[in-house]
Amino acid sequence: MRAEIITIGDELLIGQVVDTNSAWMAERLNEVGIELYQITSVHDDAAHIKDALDEAFSRADIVFTTGGLGPTKDDITKHVLCEYFGSHLIVDLRVRAHIEDLYKDRPDVLNRLTATQWLVPACAEILENRVGSAPLMVFHHGNQLLASMPGVPYEMKIAMEEQILPYIQSQITTAQPIGRNPKSQILHRTLQVTGIPESALAILLENFENSMPEGLHLAYLPKDGIIRLRLSSYGELTEAQVQQWFDELKRLTTDYMIAETGDPLEVLVGKILTERHQTIATAESCTGGKLASLLSKHPGSSAFYYGSIISYDNSVKTHLLDVPEEIIKTHGVVSEEVVIKMANAVRKQLNTDFTIATSGIAGPSGGSLEKPVGTVWIAWATPNGTSAECFHLGKLREQVTDRACQKALVGLLKRI
Amino acid sequence: MRAEIITIGDELLIGQVVDTNSAWMAERLNEVGIELYQITSVHDDAAHIKDALDEAFSRADIVFTTGGLGPTKDDITKHVLCEYFGSHLIVDLRVRAHIEDLYKDRPDVLNRLTATQWLVPACAEILENRVGSAPLMVFHHGNQLLASMPGVPYEMKIAMEEQILPYIQSQITTAQPIGRNPKSQILHRTLQVTGIPESALAILLENFENSMPEGLHLAYLPKDGIIRLRLSSYGELTEAQVQQWFDELKRLTTDYMIAETGDPLEVLVGKILTERHQTIATAESCTGGKLASLLSKHPGSSAFYYGSIISYDNSVKTHLLDVPEEIIKTHGVVSEEVVIKMANAVRKQLNTDFTIATSGIAGPSGGSLEKPVGTVWIAWATPNGTSAECFHLGKLREQVTDRACQKALVGLLKRI
């Protein structure tokens, strides 16, 4: 079963919006065993959309489109699909009732433009968009399917989970897949390593890769100082067989492995702390709240994450984090002495089991010969004492703070 | 001059990586007057890559590819391009010297796999990749060009800015563009409004839109409670003419306009505060550091952003933010009384001109009938006093915290 995604919207092609929908959809499709072959981003332009539809239908069983379903003039997807499938628009009374109910307290939304949202192509099956006014449309194209969803990420996700995926799964038995062997399972297993260059890792794994059977594939995904190693099986291998290969991969990389899954490090930290009923706080300077934001990102984080003192300005370090001005003067604000003080102070103040403190030069300005942009000190305070490390994390502001967060989490994982 | 982007990598099609490169490249291309027609994401698969190249060359003057240039086995882009252009690999001594210099202190990186990075297609022009080992390759295909870059965002950005874009601009005079009229300028102007539904805004702007000349286009981009209105000119209009239309758009939307540019709100806040030598701090509960992270994201933020007290756990609110337990018991932690205390306390402690405090229920758990998931109280403390507002921001965790940050910044912009 092979799918393609077409994302529709000028905003994608002038860089005003990053397409986060496709990655989310890709992950879900892979999870339910549907191979995603291609993602195509096109303009809000009828001819362009139709060309992309022709091409996608020449390769895939299912085509997903996102975007272009708003009530405004620049959104044309519904009209183009209507034309493409040779249909015409009709009023859908169920959609109308839903929209009138959705906005019953918002007379300013229930206007004549919103009313165009309950016009739908006569040939389409309409699924319920619980959270918005754009109808979810499914079109049959011979044995192939097209599902059209809004581009707003929250709406798309709910549509996909609650309506589109269940619908597609109910159809799979009848459709004739043109992709890879439908009997074969897609299986992905990922682990994470750090402290070894990608090329050295590939040399370490050369024999392993050369002995892999047909249909098994190893991918290297380096990011922010961590390499994710993904073992993918598109063949006839059973789950147990893939697990055997994955076990061997773990054995070979054991000296560098920091996680046996591809989960973000903050999720792994959260799982361990929650299980042990332990807590964490941060004292951040250069990372400016990014680490706090990661630790509080996922549901359930209030079980282990207590809070942070973000001391972007030095006055906050001296007033709230007990860093004596003397120490800043002598050693500089980016120093082992300062981050250790910060980590200890926040641990005392917030009364948590663990803390992490960061201080560094994110750039573009503020660097010196001795401490160039990218220099970051990180300290970890634990029930067994406090220690710190110095890192050099590159030259670009975002890169420096992203990598600092990853280093902070890797260092924590080693210490808990 | 028309371009397309092909992003290469299985990780994009299984959802392991969000493609942020394309939006960045799209923005830069538009800025230099190159129209981006399509973005296509394909697998690390020779046949798939070649098909995508054929299709892109049938539509565009310039094709950019990113990804697949690492030294490991799963990266095949260089080999595929070499074959596609009927060439063969040769040693490039300049690339070799560069790589040997880049890793002179890293003998673990200078191994035989890294050595394959200085093999390049004989027919390609090689530009310098200052920060990595993957060669930047430019191929000539009749009057068309292909530029191949690494997929690592930091490397791609430096490559594009320092090498690829200057190279392309030096070639533009000789190439024969097949896209839109090369004499026409691409101009984008954006403003931001809030407090009006998208459909009501479109009705308000109906006459305006109907009277726009050929080549002028208005797009609505709603996100997190804010609508960006983008006026794009692909035609023969001069900058002054586009400005006239934009001025009229500003006049029509004046009651809802919060910004005359498309800049992120935290950038606008930063500009105003820096100009006035004023400062800000935050006290965050439900946003967990996201607001701090936004305020410290951009270069120069240390001029106005002092820091934050993130009180995810209630103990932090009572100990560090002077919120009496009694108030939490009586009014609940998500209440006007609590956020006002938080905003005032952090203003006093960090000694800034402005502060923002947030407390809400991000979900998925923690909601009640009286205060459902999505309820967020936000307070702003200013030299003229402290005030608070209550918002209902949806049902999904990420949506709630993203929208809360935008509401917090909109509220601040109204108060400074």
pLDDT at B24 over 50: yes
What is the residue-wise DSSP string for A216-235? EEEEEEEETTEEEEEEEE-S
* A58 touching B (Cβ < 8 Å): no
Give the pLDDT confidence score for residue B176 in this predicted structure.
45
> A290, B295: Cβ pair inside 8 Å?
no
Name residues whose C-beta falls within 8 Å of residue A234's C-beta, 6 or more positions apart in sequence: A35, A180, A184, A186, A215, A217
Q: Both B161 and B273 in a single domain?
A: no
* Averaged pLDDT of chain B: 93
pLDDT bracket for residue B184 (50, 70, 90): low
B375 sits in which H/E element:
strand B375-382
Q: Nearest CB to B399: which of A154, A188, A196?
A: A154
Structural domain includes residue B399:
yes
Structural domain includes residue A293:
yes
Q: Both A284 and A340 in a single domain?
A: yes
> B48, A27: Cβ pair inside 8 Å?
no
CA-to-CA distance for A25 and A23, rounded, in angstroms? 5
* Residue range B251-285, pLDDT digits in tens: 999 999 999 999 999 999 999 999 999 999 999 99
CA-to-CA distance for A401 and A364, rounded, in angstroms? 12
Q: Is B416 helix (H, G, I), strand (E, B) or coil?
A: coil
Q: Both A291 and A242 in a single domain?
A: no
Q: How far is B237 from chain A (nearest CA, A)?
A: 19
* A74 touching B (Cβ < 8 Å): yes
* B36 touching A (Cβ < 8 Å): yes
Q: How far is B289 from chain A (nearest CA, A)?
A: 5
Structural domain includes residue B378:
yes
Structural domain includes residue A313:
yes
The CA distances from residue A353 to A190, A283, A359, A415, in Å, are 30, 14, 21, 11
CATH number at residue B195: 3.30.70.2860
Structural domain includes residue A181:
no
pLDDT exceeding 90 applies to what percent of chain B? Answer: 83
User: Which of A145, A171, A197 lies at the terminal end of a domain, its last residue?
Assistant: A171
pLDDT bracket for residue B105 (50, 70, 90): confident
Sheet holding B375-382, edge to edge: A385-392, A375-382, A354-360, A280-284, A305-311, B305-311, B280-284, B354-360, B375-382, B385-392
Give the residue from chain A lying closest to B32, CA to CA: A14
> B202, A301: Cβ pair inside 8 Å?
no
Peptide bond into A177 cis (omega under 30): no
> A41, B42: Cβ pair inside 8 Å?
no
Q: Both B29 and B106 in a single domain?
A: yes
Work out the burial of residue A91: count CB atoms within 10 Å of its CB; fewer than 13 is exposed, 13-18 middle, 19 or more buried.
Answer: exposed
Residue A59 contacts residue A38 (beta carbons within 8 Å): yes
Q: Both B206 and B288 in a single domain?
A: no
Q: Both A272 and A250 in a single domain?
A: no
Give the pLDDT confidence score for residue B175 in this predicted structure.
43
CA-to-CA distance for B306 and B398, rounded, in angstroms? 25
Chain A to chain B Cβ contacts (< 8 Å): 337
**Cα end-to-end distance, chain B, whole Å:** 43
CA-to-CA distance for B184 and B186, rounded, in angstroms? 7
User: Which of A238, A259, A280 lies at the terminal end of a domain, its last residue?
Assistant: A259
* Residue range B299-334, pLDDT digits in tens: 999 999 999 999 999 999 999 999 999 999 999 999
In the predicted model, what is the mean pLDDT of residues B385-396?
A: 93
Give the pLDDT confidence score for residue A80 in this predicted structure.
98
Q: Both B159 and B27 in a single domain?
A: yes
Q: Both B410 and B295 in a single domain?
A: yes
Give the pLDDT confidence score for residue A374 in this predicted structure.
95
The CA distances from residue A305 to A68, A262, A298, A345, B255, in Å, are 40, 22, 11, 16, 41
Residues of A in contact with B112 (CB under 8 A): 203
Give me the amino acid identity at B323. Answer: V
Residue A16 contacts residue B221 (beta carbons within 8 Å): yes
* Residue range B188-241, pLDDT digits in tens: 899 999 999 999 999 999 999 999 998 898 988 888 889 999 999 877 889 999
ipTM of the complex: 0.84
Give the pLDDT confidence score for residue B174 in this predicted structure.
45
Structural domain includes residue A182:
no
Residues of A in contact with B209 (CB under 8 A): 73
Neighbours of A323 (CB within 10 A): 26
Q: Both B112 and B63 in a single domain?
A: yes
| Residue B45 DSSP label | -
**Which two three-digit tokens encode residue B252?**
């029509």
User: Which of B235, B259, B283 lies at the terminal end of a domain, its last residue?
Assistant: B259
Q: Nearest CB to A10: which of B219, B293, B295?
A: B219
* Residue range B28-45, pLDDT digits in tens: 998 888 999 999 999 999
For chain B, the domain total comes to 3
Structural domain includes residue A314:
yes
Q: Is B137 helix (H, G, I), strand (E, B) or coil?
A: strand
CATH number at residue A148: 3.40.980.10
CA-to-CA distance for B68 and A151, rounded, in angstroms? 28
Q: Both A279 and A152 in a single domain?
A: no
* B365 touching A (Cβ < 8 Å): yes
Structural domain includes residue A176:
no
Domain span holding position B31: 2-171
Q: Nearest CB to B113: which of A12, A202, A217?
A: A202
Give the pLDDT confidence score for residue A173 in this predicted structure.
55
Give the pLDDT confidence score for residue A394 in this predicted structure.
85
Give the residue from chain B lying closest to A108, CA to CA: B200
Give the pLDDT confidence score for residue B148 in this predicted structure.
98
Q: Both B294 and B318 in a single domain?
A: yes
Residue B402 contacts residue B408 (beta carbons within 8 Å): no
Interface test with B, best of A261, A296, A399 (most B CBs within 10 A): A296
Interface test with A, best of B51, B73, B310 (most A CBs within 10 A): B310
- Would you write out chain A's pLDDT as a tens digit for each of its 416 residues? 899 999 999 999 999 889 999 999 999 998 888 999 999 999 999 999 999 999 999 999 999 999 999 999 899 999 999 999 999 999 999 999 999 998 988 888 899 999 999 999 999 999 999 888 999 999 999 999 999 999 988 899 999 999 999 999 887 654 444 444 445 567 889 999 999 999 999 999 999 999 999 889 898 888 888 999 999 887 788 999 999 999 999 999 999 999 999 999 999 999 999 999 999 999 999 999 999 999 999 999 999 999 999 999 999 999 999 999 999 999 999 999 999 999 999 999 999 999 999 999 999 999 999 999 999 999 999 999 999 999 999 888 988 999 999 999 999 999 99
Q: How far is B177 from chain A (nearest CA, A)?
A: 19
Q: Both A18 and A161 in a single domain?
A: yes
